[in-house]
Structure 1
Amino acid sequence: MSGFAYLVHDERVDAAPPDGALTQSCAFAWIHLDGRTDETTAWIQGRARLDPLVAGALVATESRPRTEFVNGGALVNLRGRSSEEMRASDPLASLRLWAEKGRVISVSRLPLVALPAVRAAIEAGRIRDPGDLIAALASAITADLDPEVGELGDRLDDCEEMIDGDKTVELRRTVAKARSQAIGYRRFVAPQRLALERLAETEADWLDEADRRHLREAADRAARMTEELESIRERAALIHEALTDLRAETIDSRSLIIAIVAMIFLPLTFITGLLGMNVQGIPYAEEPWAFWGVVALCLALALGVAAYFIREHWVSH
């Protein structure tokens, strides 16, 4: 019988048919489950009748992008953006898939942004077999992530233009955040490219040439994003170093100004301190012009020290 059926994040795992019954009446079935529930774990490890290696990988807490071939099927782990907030160290949510002829079982612990577009493609009749589904998922995930990577690059472009401004602290935070995101994305995008390339090379009968072409295109896009993320990471490091140097120069400049002011007032402080002692014998203490004489002497000394610093180019900048 032609046609297909699918379940998307059905909270009643028992609705998913046991023992491959769905694939007996349909050409293709996609069973997508929420990996956070105990019912999902029980169904995958029991009624789904999967290889223990496959079942364990589908419900594992931690995963990284990869492709493994088991008994004619493919175990595929992908990573994509989630609609829920993620940690900076783990910014992409996992999607674990078991694909075999006539059936795909997928598990995610968090909702992926790319899934609604794939579901719409199934409802429109554009996905007819496991190869179409995996190719569509890979394309949707990379298409969703690509603008995010581009936005990181644009953010660094803005930071480079503002590097000579007076918002150093804000720039350092922006650059640090962009660098952290780039590192987090690259951690999963780079192995995801390898996983897609390996999947595209398999000889599985449920993958046709069009599916392989789409997988290679998604892998190429992931490779380009990997290169862009590497560039973003290096640029962020350079901008951070430039901001650090700029901050050091600012501190040195201010320290030099403080030192110059201290040097100018040092002899003046000595003179005023000497003449301010409450002892007998201070010269010209009773003269009416003595105060203005001391002021003039202090001004002359200050101007002399300042002129020396200018001549030596200490304050040329």
Structure 2
Amino acid sequence: MTGRIEIGNDRSGSAHMIDEAGQLITSMQAFHLDGAGGMTAIEVPAGMADLPGDGFNWVHILGRSDEIDAWLRGSGIDLISLAALTAEETAPRATAQGQTILVNLRGVNLSPGAEPEDMVSIRMFISERLVISLQRRPLYAVRDVIRDGEGGHGAVSPGELVARIALRLAERAEPVVMALNERVDELEDQVIEENSSVQRGDLADIRRMAIMMRRYMFPQRDALNRFELEEMDWLHGLGRSRLREAAERMTRLAEELDSIRDRAQIVRDEVMDLRGEAMNRQMLVLSVVTAVFLPLGLITGLLGINVGGIPGASVGWAFWGVVGVLIVLAVIQFWVFWKIGLIRRG
């Protein structure tokens, strides 16, 4: 591959590929979890028939390469699961097949320069002895789970491992949702101060982010609930309770995003009302000015025609007399407009 350097398996058996800038492109890591919180890195097993020890094993794949595709084809998983793991587009879901289940989840994209709402998918094949997770782009939530396991706080069952990943996905999404909330708060404060300079582009950006993130949160909640309710022999009490907790956190995030979207719409309506009122005031001023000068213009127009019989044409003070009449007429008009409320009192 142009501009890429492949690094062979390290002592733990993990395979990595990085580019010339040192950025991770693909990796394949394998871990053995003993069911008591311990997690150790192992060589990537050849497939489901080559799973060492008790407990269960977790193979995590980042990116895509010919080597990864070859390993997946030879791993022993069925063709339906293989197609689901390697699909280009995925939506959050949970699909059971006997004593195995496929779970797709989404997490916010926190990579440098990326848009958080461009949510990254993680696809998982889960059985009693093996969990295979695959993502095309980095997810900090998975790194958090791996770091916890390396610190002696690994999952005790495959179900709990999925729940931990889902909880970390929610934890990483919470600051993004909180930042959206703060942006809406700032815009609401500006509207309360009757500041109509709020940019509609800011409101549109907030609503777009909230809608795009919400699009995955509710299906993600449903997928976790579906997983928690499945009759899997290896899905025990702790795993079910953690899955339920993860689903509840996804529900809270989705409801918060609903609130943000609705608040942004209300702020937009308020801004449009403020701008409409400002426009109405400006049109009222123009209407009053036009109404005042319309009769004055009519009189001066009549006196300015070049025909005989103009009154006062031969009188020296006639000009100032006409000016005085126009001033009196203008004052009377202003008084009438003020009485009928076209001009604000005070």
TM-score of the two chains, using structure 2 as the length reference: 0.80
SS of 1:168 mapped into structure 2 = coil
Indicate which of 250, 253, 257 corresponds to 1:229.
Answer: 257
Q: Distance in 2 between matches of 1:111 and 1:296?
A: 82
Retained in 2: the 8 A contact 1:163–1:171?
Answer: no
* 1:272–1:130 CA distance, 2 compared to 1 (3 A): same
The Cα shift of 1:76 comes to 0.6
Deviations 1:175-227 (A, max 9, x none): 22221111111110001111111222234344332222211111111111222
The Cα shift of 1:26 comes to 6.7
Retained in 2: the 8 A contact 1:8–1:31?
Answer: no
Q: How many percent of aligned residue pairs carry the same amino acid?
A: 36
More helix by share: 1
When the two chains are superposed, the root-mean-square deviation of aligned CA atoms in Å is 2.6
Retained in 2: the 8 A contact 1:7–1:30?
Answer: no
Instruction: Give 1:119's aligned residue.
Output: 146
Instruction: Give 1:105's aligned residue.
Output: 132
What one-letter code is carried by the residue in structure 2 that aligns with 1:176?
A: A
Retained in 1: the 8 A contact 2:27–2:63?
Answer: no
* 1:310–1:36 CA distance, 2 compared to 1 (3 A): farther
Unaligned runs of 5+ in 2: 1-11, 18-25, 30-42
SS of 1:23 mapped into structure 2 = coil
Instruction: Give 1:277's aligned residue.
Output: 305
Deviations 1:120-144 (A, max 9, x none): 0121121144233212101101111
Deviations 1:243-286 (A, max 9, x none): 22222222122111111111111112222222233334322234
- Greater mean alpha carbon deviation, residues 290-299 or residues 261-270: 290-299
Indicate which of 50, 59, 71 corresponds to 2:77.
Answer: 50
- Greater mean alpha carbon deviation, residues 249-258 or residues 231-240: 231-240
Q: Distance in 1 between matches of 2:15 and 2:238?
A: 25
Instruction: Give 2:205's aligned residue.
Output: 177
Deviations 1:140-165 (A, max 9, x none): 01111123223323322222221144
Q: Distance in 2 between matches of 1:13 and 1:42?
A: 12
TM-score of the two chains, using structure 1 as the length reference: 0.87
The Cα shift of 1:36 comes to 4.3
What one-letter code is carried by the residue in structure 2 that aligns with 1:266?
A: L
Instruction: Give 2:120's aligned residue.
Output: 93
What one-letter code is carried by the residue in structure 1 that aligns with 2:267?
A: I
Instruction: Give 1:193's aligned residue.
Output: 221
What one-letter code is carried by the residue in structure 1 that aligns with 2:328?
A: A
The number of residue pairs the alignment matches comes to 311
Instruction: Give 2:170's aligned residue.
Output: 142
